[in-house]
Amino acid sequence: MPLSLLIAIILIIGVVGYVLGRRRAMASAGGDSRGLHSLPVYYGSNVLLSVLVPAFAFIIIALIVIPLYIDTHVSAMITEADIGEGSSLGLVMAEVRRVAEGLDNAVAMGAISDEMARNAGANASDMAQRLRDAGQVITGEVTGNILAAAQEYRATSKILHVGMIVMALVIALGGFAFGYRRTEKDFRARNVVERVILAILIAAASVAILTTIGIILSLIFNTIEFFRIYPFTEFFFGLNWSPSFSGRGGSSELGFVPLLWGTLYISFIALSVAVPIGLFAAVYLSEYASPRVRSVAKPALEVLAGIPTIVYGLFALLTIGPMLTTVFGRDGLGWMGGASSVMTAGLVMGIMLIPFVSSLSDDIINAVPQAMRDGSLGLGATKSETIKQVILPAALPGIVGAILLAASRAIGETMIVVMGAGAAARLSLNPFEAMTTVTAKIVSQLTGDSDFSSPEALVAFALGMSLFVITLGMNILALHIVQKYREQYD
Amino acid sequence: MYDTPKSGVDVDAREVKISARGVQVFYGDTHAIKDVDVEIQDKMVTAFIGPSGCGKSTFLRCLNRMNDTIDICRVEGNINLDGENIYDAKVDPVQLRAKVGMVFQKPNPFPKSIYDNIAYGPRIHGLAKNKADLDEIVEKSLRRGAIWDEVKDRLHAPGTGLSGGQQQRLCIARAVATEPEVLLMDEPCSALDPIATAQVEELIDELRGNYSVVIVTHSMQQAARVSQKTAFFHLGNLVEFGETGQIFTNPEDPRTESYITGRIG
């Protein structure tokens, strides 16, 4: 039975429970809903939730636990001999799963019978050939042991799957009986239902937090792994970034400084574009624009924020880069080697950040009470004096927060850098030279061919961790500033 | 039941500071002020009273062209300050507002220090030649605002940290610092407790010595206590305008009588 059918059956049980629960509650109060503790709808919902929550919780847990159990159970069958040179248990297990899946598909297609698939004495190479003939992807060599493991894998997973379905249905029916029997007119159904809803809300909130923790943990473990094989000081203070991709390692220099420098330099240029333009746009929109202009211009500006960064990357590569080259390149001032440069990426990234700065600042400037403007205008200040001396200082904390958020975006940006700034890690002050950033290097280190346990690949996690700490720090600082000064007026 | 006007001022002998003739105000299609004629005399407190929405605040805001900041607002008629029409095309509303200061209903100190709040106007208008000059203006204004003794030790603390009554007196001192000729007050005590109200009222009475003060108030007792002349507005019309004692003891119009005795409002 497929999972979707199981879920549908449980839902049907739940809906039936809702109707019956509601009816039973009404009956227990003699048909008058005022005799009930809660509204009739809560009695129905109580039965519905008693069916759905435990059953679905069980299914979720089962779906996580069953594959884990099967893996450990089956991998015990794999011997040292099955794991060839340069291979690992993980690879062999992947092969086992592939064969098991191939058997399933072949049976489903009718290429082999179910008995044949389960036959413990089957010849491994013969079976592999049959599977290949049936169009199944079998990559490695199938030994007898692997075939046996695959057959065991199939058998266990089938038993457990059926067991899970039966168990889930039993739990759903049990929940139904439990909820239905509790239903009578003095049962505090509303309180129970609201408590369950609260629990669901809490669970939803914790998913986001748990995911963050999971991300940090996965970064931390790999980062620790990296620092075990690569010295801490050389990473943080090394001035050279030249990973060797030969796979033998040893000759790689993995210095963080040139990448950090590239990141900060590009972000700096991006912010020097975005902050003035964004702020001026915000002042215009909030103080000078008529409501009609504002209602058109603000969404138009925010459209910029919706453009995928890869499109900005194309813009950098095809438009801004060549434009800068004609002025600063070999035919012009001669400062620029190719179209890729810090300036190219910085300018485009700045354009991308304008709506972040302008939209947030606009909201913040609008939040400054009208009384401040009236007070200043009433003293004979002009509009521009009012903006410069009263509105902007009052909005400053929020604006700083907005700028810091934009800065975190700039630091984390990848695509524009890959396409606009080049890939060479370099410590240079010339903004027309190609440089690269931490994020771009994370991509190139992990998408390369290098072994996952080599320092060249693991360094990506150390880079990611450093970046995470930097942007986290900036976000905390931004939140702190915004919060600390939020209620200064009023 | 009402206090008599302070110390028997001779109301008619004073020169006219602001004279309004046939003033009409529209908010979009709404006719908010209908044909109002008022003469406001120098060195005297004039009170505008009337029920909510009667247009008294709107009219007050016409006197220093604060209504210009509202897009849909349109003003017709003549308002003369010292014989010069303030709605004339060659009058700069910014200059006008320096001459006609305003204090608002809710205290609105800027999120700056007490000193900077007061120094804001003088700095903008270039009233001080140097730091010592500015210090002097700040001190003088705070003294006029009757708040100097309370804040002299913390001039550089934020103005928003003061209590409500102190904030309002700070705002009055701020308005006084630009040396206006007329001071408009839009319900200056409505957000204050009785003690702070009493302090502000006392201050208004002192300010009368130097300025022409126009105050909008919901409290008839307050109008009776601080003003020499009172104007009663109702539904956008100026119903009655005259000496405060006259208005409160012997009103001519039946609507005025109904309002001050609490039958309409």
Q: Give pLDDT tens digits for B17-46.
A: 899 999 999 998 889 999 999 999 999 999
Question: Both A388 and A402 in a single domain?
Answer: yes
Q: What is the pLDDT of residues B166-221, one digit of tens each?
A: 999 999 999 999 989 999 999 888 878 888 888 889 889 988 888 899 999 988 88
Angstrom distance (rounded) from CA B60 to CA B102: 9
pLDDT at residue number B19: 92
Cβ–Cβ below 8 Å for A374 and B66 = yes
Classify B45 as helix, strand or coil: strand
Where residue A390 sits, what CATH number does that domain have?
A: 1.10.3720.10
Site of tokens 């909030």: A286
- Chain A residue numbers touching B171 (CB-CB < 8 A): 375
Edge to edge, the sheet with strand B212-216 lists B100-103, B182-186, B212-216, B45-49, B229-234, B237-243
Helix, strand and coil content of chain A, in percent to the nearest 5, comes to: 75, 0, 25
Residue B71, chain A, CB below 8 Å: the answer is: yes
Q: Is there a single domain that holds both residue A291 and residue A412?
A: yes
pLDDT over 90 (residue A275): yes
Instruction: Provide the chain B residues 203-262 that lie in CB contact (below 8 A) with chain A.
Output: none
My answer on whether A374 and A448 are in the same domain is: yes
Percent of chain A surpassing pLDDT 70: 94
pLDDT at A268: 94
Are A34 and A137 within one domain? Answer: yes
More confident residue, B211 or A124: B211
Contact by Cβ (8 Å): A307, A352: yes
Reduce the DSSP state of residue B15 to 3 states and report it.
coil
Residue A490 domain flag: no
Taking the domains of chain B in order of start, what are their residue ranges?
A: 14-108+181-260
Paired strand residues for B75: B25
Closest CA to A193 of A59, A60, A61, A37: A37
pLDDT at A239: 85
The nearest alpha carbon in chain A to B107 belongs to: A371
pLDDT, residue A474, reads: 86
Q: Is A396 on the interface with B (CB under 8 A)?
A: no
Q: Does B191 touch chain A (CB under 8 A)?
A: no
pLDDT, mean of residues B125-132: 90
Contact of B174 with chain A, judged by CB distance below 8 Å, is answered with yes
Instruction: Provide the b/e sequence for A122-160 (b: ≥16 CB within 10 Å).
Output: bebeebbebbeebebebeeebbebbbbbbbbbbbbbeeb
Cα gap B265→B257, rounded to integer Å:
11
Question: Are A378 and B71 inside 8 Å of each other by CB?
Answer: no
A331-339 contacts at long range (C-beta below 8 A, 24 or more positions apart): A335/A430, A335/A432, A336/A432, A336/A433, A337/A432, A337/A433, A337/A434, A338/A422, A338/A434
Residues A286, A166 within the same domain? no
Instruction: Decide which of A227, A249, A280 is a domain's last residue.
Output: A227
Q: Where are the alpha helices (DSSP H) in B86-193?
A: 93-99, 114-125, 131-144, 148-151, 164-177
Residue A232 lies in a domain: no
Band (B140; pLDDT cuts 50, 70, 90) = very high
CB A460 within 8 A of CB A442: yes
* Residue linked to tokens 């003891």: B249
CA distance B31 to B55: 10
What is the least distance, in Å, from the CA of A291 to any CA of chain B? Answer: 10
SS (H, E, C) B196-261: HHHHHHHHHHHHCCCCEEEEECCCHHHHHHHCCEEEEEECCEEEEEEEHHHHHHCCCCHHHHHHHC
How many Å apart are CA A326 and CA A410, to the nearest integer?
26
Where b means 16+ CB within 10 Å and e means fewer, A165-174 reads beebbebbee
Q: Which of B158, B160, B174 sits opposite A379 (nearest CB)?
A: B174
| Helix/strand/coil percentages in chain B, nearest 5 | 40, 25, 35
- Whether the CB-CB separation of B118 and B125 falls below 8 Å is answered with no
Q: What is the token pair recorded at A133?
A: 């003939």
What would the pLDDT profile of A325-351 be if each residue is shown by its tens digit? 888 877 777 777 777 888 999 999 999
pLDDT of residue B142: 92
Cα–Cα nearest to B61, from B46, B71, B75: B75
Contact residues for A394 (Cβ-Cβ < 8 A; gap 6+): A368, A372, A488, A489, B110, B111
Cβ-based burial of B138 (10 A; exposed 0-12, middle 13-18, buried ≥19): buried
- HSE, side-chain direction, 13 A CA sphere, residue A372: 25
**A394·B111 Cβ contact <8 A:** yes
Q: Is the Cβ of B160 closer than 8 Å to some Cβ of chain A? A: yes
Phi-psi region of A303 (alpha: psi -120 to 50; beta: other; left: phi over 0): alpha
Would A166 be classed as within a structural domain? yes
Higher pLDDT among residues B82 and A140, named by residue: B82
The predicted model gives B237-241 an average pLDDT of: 91
Alpha helices (H) in A134-188, listed in sequence order: 144-182
Q: Does B110 sit within 8 Å of A381, measured CB to CB?
A: no
Cα–Cα distance between A112 and A142 in angstroms, integer?
A: 17
Q: For position B114, what pLDDT does the model report?
A: 93
**How many separate domains does chain A show?**
3
pLDDT of res. B6: 46
Please, are residues A107 and A113 in contact by the beta-carbon 8 Å criterion?
A: yes
- A7 and A133, same domain (yes or no): yes
Which member of B69, B97, B104 has the closest CB to residue A380?
B97
Instruction: Please report the pLDDT score of residue B7 as a whole number.
Output: 45
Which H helix or E strand runs over B102?
strand B100-103
CB contacts, 8 Å: B125 with chain A: 380
**A56 to A7, A8, A13, A191, A239: CA distances (angstroms):** 8, 11, 13, 22, 54
In this structure, what are the phi and psi dihedrals at residue A414, rounded to the nearest 5 degrees?
-120, -55
* Residue-level pLDDT at B3: 47
Q: Please report the beta strands in A153-283, taking only residues with DSSP state E, as ranges in sequence order.
A: 241-242, 253-254
Contact of B92 with chain A, judged by CB distance below 8 Å, is answered with no
B102 to chain A: which residues are within 8 Å by CB? Answer: 374, 378-379
Mean pLDDT of A217-241: 87
pLDDT at residue number B5: 46
Closest-CA residue of chain A to B66: A378
Q: Is the pLDDT of residue A72 over 70?
A: yes
Given this model, what pLDDT does residue B4 score?
46
Please check whether residues A380 and A440 belong to one and the same domain: yes
Query: If we measure between CA atoms, which residue out of A180, A203, A170 comes closest to residue A9?
Result: A170
Confidence of residue A126 (pLDDT cuts 50, 70, 90): confident
Task: Determine, yes or no, domain membership for A233.
Answer: no
Same domain, A221 and A274: no
Domain that holds residue A194: 189-227
B31 near A CB under 8 A? no
A313 and A335 together in one domain: yes
Angstrom distances, CA of residue B151 to CA of A134, A278, B53, B106: 92, 39, 36, 20
CA angle A370–B31–B185, rounded 5-degree value: 40
List all residues of chain A from 358 to 377 with a beta carbon under 8 Å from chain B: 369, 371-377
Tens digits of per-residue pLDDT, A419-450?
888 888 888 888 888 888 888 888 888 886 66
Query: Nearest CB to B178: which of A377, A380, A488?
Result: A380
Residue A236 lies in a domain: no
Are residue A161 and residue A306 in the same domain, yes or no?
no
Confidence check: pLDDT of A130 > 80? no
Between residues A194 and A478, which one has the greater pLDDT? A194
CA-nearest residue to B99 within chain A is A380
CA distance A86 to A336: 47
Q: Is residue B118 pLDDT above 70, yes or no?
A: yes
Inform me whether the C-beta atom of residue A489 falls under 8 Å from chain B C-beta atoms: yes
How far, in Å, CA of A83 to CA of A145, rounded? 11
Considering only CB atoms, A372 lies closest to which of B108, B125, B175, namely B108
Q: Does domain B14-108+181-260 have CATH number 3.30.470.20?
A: no
* Same domain? A252 vs A340: yes
Q: Is the pLDDT of residue B111 over 50?
A: yes
Q: Is A79 on the interface with B (CB under 8 A)?
A: no
Regarding whether A348 and A309 lie in a shared domain, the answer is yes
Q: Which of B99, B108, B125 is closest, CB to CB, to A375?
A: B108
**Average pLDDT score over chain A:** 85
On whether ipTM exceeds 0.90, the answer is no
Residue B13 clears pLDDT 70, i.e. is over it: no
Q: How far is A226 from chain B (nearest CA, A)?
A: 50
Are A375 and B125 inside 8 Å of each other by CB? no
- Residues of chain A with pLDDT > 90: what percent? 31
